[in-house]
Structure 1
Amino acid sequence: MLLRFLILFLSLQFSASIDTITPNNPLNEGDVLTSKAGKFTLGFFSPGNSTTRYVGIWFTKVSVQTVVWVANRNNPINDFHGILSINRNGHLTLTSQNTPIWSSNISDSVTRNSSSMSCQLLDSGNLVLTTDNGKSLLWQSFDHMTNTFLPGMKLGLDKKSGLNRYITSWRSKDDPSPGNFSFRVDPNGSPQFFLYQGSNPVWRTGPWVGQKWSGVPDMTRAYIFNYSFISDMNEVSVTYTVLNDNIITIFLVDGVSGTVQRRTWHENSKSWVQFWSAPKDDCDQYGECGPFGSCNPNSGNQFHCSCFPGYSFSLCLFVCLLIVRNNLY
């Protein structure tokens, strides 16, 4: 009896430490990968009230399942026969009953030996596909974000490869396919990041001014994050780390409210607490009062737009009313 218990205990310990897919060891429906220190889990899930299946990554120690990356967000599985594997051509692939669902889509011009390949879930939440026993990186989930910007991710444009890393809202809580809101860089002029609804700008960060974005006054020196911004001939990007490793936090695009949000997990209340979002009010909206007007959310009037000195009142009023009309309809 004792021997059987020890065998069961050791097998559970071993299975809990598995963080890697190999050509001979795929991930089947019902199985999970758990990163080495247990921070993230990868597996099959159904969002909200949906019955369709996706492969995603979520926080292991957060009791409210919070998915931060989805592989097949455009192609759900309609059964429980999904398999995530490395095929003989060295691609990370998701299939169901031999039907292709999703692939990592690595260039076939890359020379690789599939027998030396592996796919590992890291404690950063990054899923990496490597060859030569981990020496060469072929693909990583951090280059293909969904709705969440995690610490260690790089958000922005790689000018050499043309890779544009940005986040896009879920369509709904039941559907992780791309929604109508995205957060991405505009590399022109003084680079800054924009929240878009479709192709229309909703809010902007303003240019980087040394330690923060000019349009985000909340980013004070006492901030709990360390941000790094790069703008040169090779890339325009931002990344960040959390100064306290015990803090679990996410930055995401929320498709319900149409905002970008910073949330932190509070273990005592077992809930995510939002402590920052944008836009906050009408005056945060991009171009709310047009090119000739200024916005005052505390004006106490029905219209919070006014004209800059020296501009035609009639022209300014016409532009403001036109913007209000477009916002209403």
Structure 2
Amino acid sequence: MVQEHDFLKVVWVANRDKPLGHKDQSASLIIGGDGNLKLLDGRKNAIWSTNVMAKSNYSAAVLLDFGNLVLQDGNANKMWESFDEPTDTLLPNMKIGVNVKTGKKKYLISWKGEDDPSPGSFVLGVTSETPPQLFAWNGSSPYWRSGQWDKSKFNGIPTMSNKYLSGHQLVQNINQGTTYYFRNYYNNSFGYVFISSEGSIESVRWGDGWSTNWEASRTNRCEIYGTCGPFGVCDTFSSPICSCLKGFKPRSDEEWNRGNWTGGCVRKMELNCQKSAHAAAMTTVEKDVFWPMKHMKLPDSADYLSNIADAEGCRSWCLGNCSCLAFSYVETVGCMAWCKNLIDTQQFSREGKDLFLRLVDVDKGVPTKTKLIISLSTISGIMLFGAGISVCGLFKWRDAEIPHGLGLSVYAFGYDECNAEFVLLRVVQTLRRPIVSEVSIYKSETNVWRRLQGMPYFLVEPGRMGVYLCGRLHWIMRCECVRNSAKVLVAFDIRTESFVEVDQPNVIDNRLRMDLAVLEEHLCLTVYREPGVVDVWIMREYGLNRHGICCSR
């Protein structure tokens, strides 16, 4: 517990899933004969245990200065610690986060009620994207997010100014697949982060007394995820709090006027880059412009472009990709682009970042004009005739340039939304040891095959097409080239051009035969347990997505 004002705050509960009876006055905390720390009820039944391999003669339970309850051996080595099993409070040096390679997640989970420590419906965690964010869910629905981490603070928490940042740390290791957030004990200042049973999130510190660094309160509707819907922007100090981004209008005036803004906004006019030849036989085509927006909580679901070095490069990339709807360049982060709906955007009076919104309104910029005087029938003929030659002839000719003598092969076909181009991936593996993989990618815009690095996985069913979903191509493969060895779900990320493993239900015997499919934009995993018995798992939000894995049978 920590003492806050005139009361004690409970910061960790061992048996929150299995409470003691209210009238049980004989409960005890002991180190059992097996060396584990155990909570016993009045009848000496074990309610909770550390459940580790230990030796009783050498075990000791120690409560450390920052609230970490530790089970140690005789050499003071940690065998178990409460910091590995957080409840609703993040204490100094305790970590929450995710390891995408192992699938291990550490989240804060709210109490069910003010006096009921059993798990509630609100969860606070860290996303594995780059840059990461703190993210809260109400059940499986997004509830709140902090905005992107800029190496010193979160973009969506304007009160998180420099004088409060000393204790907050977020460390991401792409190679190890880990992302963790924690608070340091800095400058003799004790602090913690807490998620309430009602979904409010507070960062509290001790100075001359207890004070709140920052708070995400459920009473502030702009803090609730997606309050103003796609392409809407929320401003706490405006009335109404929701408005459409420049160049957009409410999707439904009726709903908007009733104060239901979740339907969001739609663009008033199509972008110049979206205008096709059928619009006019002779026309003046202008480039789109970018409207600057200051002091913004940047939208969710940014694409991080690590290969772009400066703000001008970020702008040029976005301008050259019609699917790019907005961009932001943050010095400590780099280039971020948005190719999907701009959701959960907020206007601040200070702090925040600059967001550049793609617009067709040439009066708000200095576009470069390009005169095009083209016959509609001519361009249509060229497009159709060219498509016939490039699509039919290209795959035959280009594919022949890559030798087929390597052995087994699989393909997958998908679409790169940010670059607005089709992608074909081919994986070939040798039949003889040592097993060698060759990975090649074809993109429709460049019209060439390109060799990528190999992959550390092994094909299961040669010839089976990969499954495309959410910008990624999926296969079932093996980690080892051994018959009946464990299978893994592998995804190729089209944007980063890298292979990663995807979380799958841990109750599955992955030595069994498995198939992949897509059902209503969800990845489905079919497991054939025995003749006539098939399990179908609908992976509504799987490991590559920050919303975790939710499987139903």
- TM-score greater than 0.5 by the shorter chain: yes
> CA–CA distance in 2 between the matches of 1:207 and 1:294?
17
Does the 8 Å CA contact 2:201/2:216 hold for their aligned counterparts? yes
Q: 1:148 Cα deviation (Å)?
A: 0.7
Q: SS of the residue aligned with 2:149?
A: coil
Percent of pairs with identical residues: 34
* Residue in structure 1 matched with residue 114 of structure 2 by the alignment: 173
Deviation per CA, 1:196-252: give whole Å up to 9, x if none.
21221121111210211111222222226322211113310011224332x443320
Q: Which amino acid aligns with 2:214?
A: W
Within the alignment, does 1:213 sit opposite 2:150 as a pair?
Answer: no
What SS does the corresponding residue of 2:251 show, helix, strand or coil? helix
Structure having greater relative contact order (Cα 8 Å, sep ≥ 6): 1
Q: 1:223 aligns with which of 152, 164, 176?
A: 164
Match of 1:147, as an amino acid? D
Task: Give the distance between the partners of 1:181 and 1:61, measured in 2 at CA.
Answer: 22
Structure 2 counterparts to residues 46-57 of structure 1, below 5 A: none
Q: Shift in Å at residue 125 of structure 1? A: 0.6
Measured against aligned partners, the alpha-carbon deviations of 1:122-144 in whole angstroms (never above 9, x if no partner) come to: 11110111224313x22100011
Q: Secondary structure at the match of 1:138?
A: strand
Q: Distance in 2 between matches of 1:289 and 1:152?
A: 36
Counterpart position of 2:12: 69
Matched position secondary structure for 2:260: helix
Query: 1:315 is matched with which residue: 251, 256, 263?
Result: 251
- Tell me the residue number matched to 2:344: none
**In structure 1, how many angstroms separate the alpha carbons of the residues matched to 2:128 and 2:110?**
21
Q: CA deviation at 1:320?
A: 5.5
Matched, 1:237 2:180: yes
One-letter amino acid matched to 2:172: S
SS in 1 for 2:92: coil
- What is the deviation of 1:71? 0.8
Within 1, Cα distance between the matches of 2:55 and 2:142? Answer: 45
Deviations, residues 65-110 of structure 1 (Å, cap 9, x unaligned): 211111111212120111212222232211111212111233xxx5
Match of 1:84 in 2: 29
AA of the residue aligned to 1:253: I
Q: Which residue of 1 aligns with 2:46?
A: 100
Aligned match for 1:142, one of 83, 90, 95: 83
Give 1:284's aligned residue. Answer: 223
Match of 2:70 in 1: 128
Counterpart AA for 1:101: I
Q: Does the 8 Å contact 2:73/2:79 carry over to 1?
A: yes
Take 1:249 and 1:291, find their aligned partners in 2: how far apart are those partners? 36
Q: Which residue of 2 aligns with 1:297?
A: 236
Task: Specify the code of the residue in structure 2 equivalent to 1:298.
Answer: F
Q: Output the amino acid matched with 2:50.
A: S
1:14-33 superposed Cα distances (whole Å, 9 cap, x missing partner): xxxxxxxxxxxxxxxxxxxx
1:250-295 deviation per Cα after TM superposition (whole angstroms, max 9, x unaligned): 3200124x21012345877xxx544521146222221111122222
For the residue of structure 2 that corresponds to 1:225, the secondary structure is: helix
1:324 partner SS: coil
- Structure 1 pair 325–144 and aligned structure 2 pair: CA distance change class (3 A): same
Q: 1:36 is matched with which residue?
A: none
**TM-score of the aligned structures, taking structure 2 as reference length:** 0.43
The one-letter amino acid paired with 1:153 is: M
SS of the equivalent of 1:251 reads strand
1:210 and 1:60, CA in 2 relative to 1: closer, same or farther beyond 3 A?
closer
Match for residue 204 of structure 1 among 145, 155, 163: 145
- Report the AA paired with residue 255 of structure 1: S
CA distance 1:87–1:159, change in 2 (3 Å): farther
What SS does structure 1 have at the residue aligned with 2:12?
strand
**Structure-1 separation of matches of 2:57 and 2:13:** 26
What SS does the corresponding residue of 1:222 show, helix, strand or coil?
helix
| Residue 30 (structure 1) aligns with | none
Contact 2:95 2:180 in 1 (8 A): yes
Q: 1:35-70: CA deviations, max 9, x gaps?
A: xxxxxxxxxxxxxxxxxxxxxxx1379752211111
The answer to whether the aligner puts 1:194 opposite 2:194 as a matched pair is: no
Determine the C-alpha separation between the residues in 2 that align with 1:91 and 1:160: 29
Aligned residue pair count? 257
Structure 1 unmatched runs, 5+: 1-57
In 2, are the aligned partners of 1:307 and 1:316 still within 8 Å (CA)?
no
**Alignment partner of 1:115: what SS?**
helix
Tell me the amino acid that sits aligned with residue 254 of structure 1: S
Q: CA 1:287/1:90 → structure 2, altered by over 3 Å: closer, same or farther? A: same
What is the one-letter code of the residue matched to 2:86?
M
What is the TM-score normalised by the length of structure 1?
Answer: 0.69
Return the offset for 1:309.
Answer: 3.2
Alignment equivalent of 2:93, drawn from 152, 172, 191: 152
Q: Select the structure of larger CA radius of gyration.
A: 2
Report the counterpart of residue 324 of structure 1 in structure 2: 260
Deviation at residue 150 of structure 1 after TM alignment: 0.9
CA distance in 1, matches of 2:17, 2:85: 13
Kept after mapping to 2: 8 A contact 1:192/1:204: yes
Match for residue 119 of structure 1 among 38, 43, 61: 61
* Matching residue's letter, 1:308: L
Q: Relative to 1, partners in 2 of residues 1:115 and 1:159: Cα closer, same or farther, differing over 3 Å?
A: farther
Deviation at 1:160, TM superposition (A): 5.2
CA distance in 1, matches of 2:105, 2:49: 19
Describe the shift of the 1:265–1:89 C-alpha distance in structure 2 as closer, same or farther (beyond 3 A). same
Please state whether the residue corresponding to 2:111 is helix, strand or coil. strand
Instruction: Please tell me the residue identity of whatever aligns with 1:88.
Output: G
In 2: Cα distance, 1:181 partner to 1:323 partner: 25
